[in-house]
Structure 1
Amino acid sequence: MPQVIVLPHLELCPEGAVIDAVPGKSICDTLLENGVEIEHACEKSCACTTCHVVVREGFNKLGHADEIEEDLLDMAWGLEATSRLSCQALIPADADANIVVEIPRYTINHAKEKH
């Protein structure tokens, strides 16, 4: 079974986490269902960047981001070459496809910030 390995995040997951993941489910849903309260202001509709993660290992095992996701990622805080919106990145079927993610320290959430 593939796993999502979450690197420690001061607020959301201080100890980090190793989560057994269901193929075909998004990284965002996997995190939320396992107690990692990653932001998802648009309710996972690919309309914001609050669920942005940096994939530290396993990036090439994920499907490709579509044009809408790529355009949104351009606005994400802390964008890196291996950034993805966790609501759009699906767990691969490969049983050995462990995905290591880092949740950035900051996110751009205009609703939460009262913009």
Structure 2
Amino acid sequence: MPRITVLPHEALCPQGAEFDAEPGAVLCRELLDHGIAIEHACELSCACTTCHVVVKQGFASLDASEEEEDDMLDKAWGLTAQSRLSCQVRVKAADLTIEIPKYTINHAREEH
């Protein structure tokens, strides 16, 4: 079972986090299920960039992003070559280390 490591984020998980995930699981849903309240303003439909993450380790193990995700990522704050929308990432067999950027494009945090 792959291990997900979340680097410390001052608001969402100050100590960082680690948990196991089922292969095939959606990364955003796994973060939420493990108490990391990542924003997801579009309810995981690839219509915003609030669930943007940077995959620090394990990026090559993921399926390539599709054009719709790439178009949305162009609007993300802090975009890098390893950026993904966590709502579009399916966990594979490899461990992942991710960083949640400090900011999103939202002016105010949406509560779910």
Same fold at TM > 0.5? yes
Show CA shifts across 1:74-101 (max 9, x none): 0000000000000001100x2xx11000
Structure-1 separation of matches of 2:33 and 2:106:
21
Structure-1 separation of matches of 2:50 and 2:70:
14
Structure-1 separation of matches of 2:31 and 2:108:
22
Structure-2 separation of matches of 1:100 and 1:112:
24
8 Å CA contact 2:39–2:109 kept in 1: the answer is: no
How far off is 1:14 after superposition?
Answer: 0.3
Identity %: 60
Report the counterpart of residue 69 of structure 2 in structure 1: 69
What number of residue pairs does the alignment pair up? 110
Show CA shifts across 1:49-97 (max 9, x none): 00000000000001110000000000000000000000001100x2xx1
Structure-2 separation of matches of 1:102 and 1:40:
16
Query: Which portions of structure 1, spanning 4 or more consecutive aligned residues, are displaced by more than 6 angstroms?
Result: none
> Would you say 1:99 and 2:88 are equivalent positions?
no
> Would you say 1:51 and 2:51 are equivalent positions?
yes
Structure-2 separation of matches of 1:104 and 1:111:
15
The one-letter code matched in structure 2 to 1:108 is I
Deviates more, 1:21-30 or 1:50-59: 21-30
How far off is 1:3 after superposition?
Answer: 1.0
Secondary structure of 1:18 counterpart: strand
User: What runs of 5+ residues in structure 2 fail to find an aligned partner?
Assistant: none
**1:17-32 residue pairs with structure 2 within 5 A?**
17-32=17-32
Scaled by the length of structure 1, the TM-score of the pair is 0.92
Report the counterpart of residue 35 of structure 1 in structure 2: 35
User: What runs of 5+ residues in structure 1 fail to find an aligned partner?
Assistant: none
Deviates more, 1:103-112 or 1:73-82: 103-112
